[in-house]
Amino acid sequence: MKNKKTSFIMKFVLSLFLAPLVTTPVVAAYPEKPIKIMIGYAPGSSTDIVGRIIANELSIILKQPVIVENRGGAAGNIAADAVAKSTPDGYTILFAQNGLAINVATNPKLPFNGQKDLIPVVGVAATPHILIVNNNSKARNVSDLIAMLKANPGKLSFASSGIGNSDHMAGELFLATTGLQAIHIPYKGGSPAATDVLGGQIDFYFAGMPVGLPLYKGDKVRALAVTSKNRFSGAPELVTMQEAGVKGYEMALWQGMFVPAGTSKEIIGTLNNVILKILDTPELKERFIKAGVQNVPMNTQQFTELYNSDIARWKVVIEKAKIKLD
């Protein structure tokens, strides 16, 4: 009888230790496989350049391949839609710019809900645009460009990396502020847009700094101004649009990371913490400076606030300026 009681007690005790091993699922460490970062613009565009710098550093720290996939078109919305509808497991990430907020604010026909289907994770940069023209252009400064536009209403052209993107809005704001007209020519990225400025097919372009600054520094194009409130540290000799006489004009290109809704707080926290550490390294800061990028780290809360406030801001700006995004 004693042996039976002992046997029963032993089985009961063992069951207490073994039960959790059977019923508790094992949570895999993140990441345990390659990560894909989707960018909605062509290779060589401003967002692509910054995204690839981040992807490279992320791969080193997480010890997993981080693959960049360029899925251009529809002002970045094709990539955004793909990520919004992907599995929320942290292995498909969107690297976007404020063109996303602009499109969410103004396009009710988007195939995804930009404030419900995507979660802001971390912001990495906020950089002014640089206004460039062909070296043979008659515009030696912003005043010259304005005079050319006045003399040829609706005949000169300006480029963008896509309808509704930040560089498009920079051009539209310039026209709305000055009361002038020009033809908008959208491209599938900043690099092909800049190429046509070099070729003389486009009259002016508010290029992203990573695209436009190297061309200006290499004497490939003429730069007239930057769009920030203060002069850009990477080219302090260039005046701001306000200094050039366009009162109240200010514009910046922010860039950051998003994941699909449903992604766990743990994964979002991991990505946020790792990227903020990357942005704080001297090596990254140096790479950003060389690329013409303004390093502006934003944690999840700060980036979410910026994203939502930008959506609200652009709704008002576009309606007030009567800017058409078609």
- DSSP codes joined into one string, 63-78: TS-EEEEE---GGGHH
C-alpha–C-alpha distance, residues 80 and 264, integer Å:
19
Cα 43 from chain centre: 14
* pLDDT (average), residues 38-46: 92
Q: Which residues, 6 or more positions from 184, have their beta carbon under 8 angstroms from its beta carbon?
A: 157, 158, 160, 163, 168, 171, 172
Q: Model pTM?
A: 0.80
- pLDDT tens-digit series, residues 290-311: 888 999 999 999 999 999 999 9
* The pLDDT of residue 317: 82
What share of the chain in percent tops pLDDT 70?
90
- pLDDT tens-digit series, residues 185-214: 999 889 999 999 999 999 999 999 999 999
State how far the alpha carbon of 27 is from the alpha carbons of 23, 32, 104, 129, in Å. Answer: 12, 11, 35, 44
The secondary structure element, H or E, covering residue 133 is strand 118-134
* The pLDDT of residue 164: 85
12 backbone dihedrals φ, ψ, rounded to 5°: -65, -45
* The pLDDT of residue 326: 63
* pLDDT (average), residues 81-106: 96
Query: Is the pLDDT score of 9 beyond 50?
Result: no
C-alpha–C-alpha distance, residues 172 and 206, integer Å:
10
Closest CA to 203 of 268, 258, 151, 247: 151
- As annotated, the residues of the chain forming the CATH 3.40.190.150 domain(s) are 35-126+253-321
* The pLDDT of residue 318: 84
Query: Is the pLDDT score of 80 beyond 90?
Result: yes
Query: Is the pLDDT score of 281 beyond 70?
Result: yes
Tokens (6 digits) for 107: 């396009």
Q: Which CATH number fits domain 127-226: 3.40.50.2000, 3.40.190.10, 1.10.3720.10, 3.40.50.300?
A: 3.40.190.10
Is pLDDT larger for residue 290 or for residue 64? Answer: 64
* The pLDDT of residue 73: 85
* The pLDDT of residue 3: 53
C-alpha–C-alpha distance, residues 46 and 166, integer Å:
11
Is pLDDT larger for residue 149 or for residue 6? Answer: 149
Closest CA to 108 of 305, 250, 311, 247: 311
- pLDDT tens-digit series, residues 249-270: 999 899 999 999 999 999 999 9
Query: What angle (nearest 5°) sits at the alpha carbon of residue 200, between those of residues 289 and 169?
Result: 55
- pLDDT tens-digit series, residues 11-28: 544 444 444 444 434 446
C-alpha–C-alpha distance, residues 166 and 65, integer Å:
30
- As annotated, the residues of the chain forming the CATH 3.40.190.10 domain(s) are 127-226
* pLDDT (average), residues 43-65: 95
Length of the chain: 326
Mean pLDDT, the chain, rounded, equals 90
* pLDDT (average), residues 58-77: 94
- pLDDT tens-digit series, residues 106-139: 888 999 999 999 999 999 999 999 999 999 999 9
CATH superfamily of 35-126+253-321: Bordetella uptake gene, domain 1 (3.40.190.150)
C-alpha–C-alpha distance, residues 106 and 246, integer Å:
25
C-alpha–C-alpha distance, residues 203 and 182, integer Å:
9
C-alpha–C-alpha distance, residues 274 and 218, integer Å:
34
* pLDDT (average), residues 142-167: 95
State how far the alpha carbon of 25 is from the alpha carbons of 6, 19, 246, 269, 304, in Å. Answer: 31, 12, 61, 21, 32
* pLDDT (average), residues 213-233: 96
Q: Which residues, 6 or more positions from 121, have their beta carbon under 8 angstroms from its beta carbon?
A: 93, 256, 257, 258, 259, 268, 271, 272, 275, 300, 303
